[in-house]
Amino acid sequence: MNQFTRELTQELLVIRARDVTEGIAAVLAVRSHKTVVLDLTSMDNAQAQRTADFVSGGVQAVDGEEHRIGEHVFLFTPAGVQVTLN
């Protein structure tokens, strides 16, 4: 495999976060080329916003993407994953 080819894992990780620290797991998973569904519905609005902001920044830093798929539910994908939302 050359330096421009990256093997993407076909793994989807669902995280039902209960506190801000679980956002770290989401960022590390995307950094490891995994797709993450992050469910923040168990958190209060302030914690959910803080966690979403943290994960969004971390994912953007590794050229990943963020998609809102529900109220306080997000899909984070590594670079190279195409998402089509209808």
**Tens-place pLDDT, residues 33-52:** 999 999 999 999 999 999 99
Closest CA relative to residue 74, chosen from 17, 9, 2? 17
Q: What does the mean pLDDT of the chain come to?
A: 90
Select the CATH number that applies to the domain covering 12-77 from these four: 2.60.40.10, 3.30.110.150, 3.30.830.10, 3.10.105.10. Answer: 3.30.110.150
The number of angstroms, rounded, from the C-alpha of 76 to the middle of its chain's C-alpha atoms is 3
Average confidence (pLDDT) over 20-39: 95
Position 85 confidence tier, pLDDT thresholds 50, 70, 90: confident
pLDDT at 9: 59
Residue 26 to residue 35: CA distance in whole angstroms = 9
Asked whether the predicted pLDDT for residue 10 surpasses 90, the reply is no
Does this model's pTM top 0.75? yes
* Location of structure tokens 């998973």: 29
Asked whether the predicted pLDDT for residue 5 surpasses 60, the reply is no
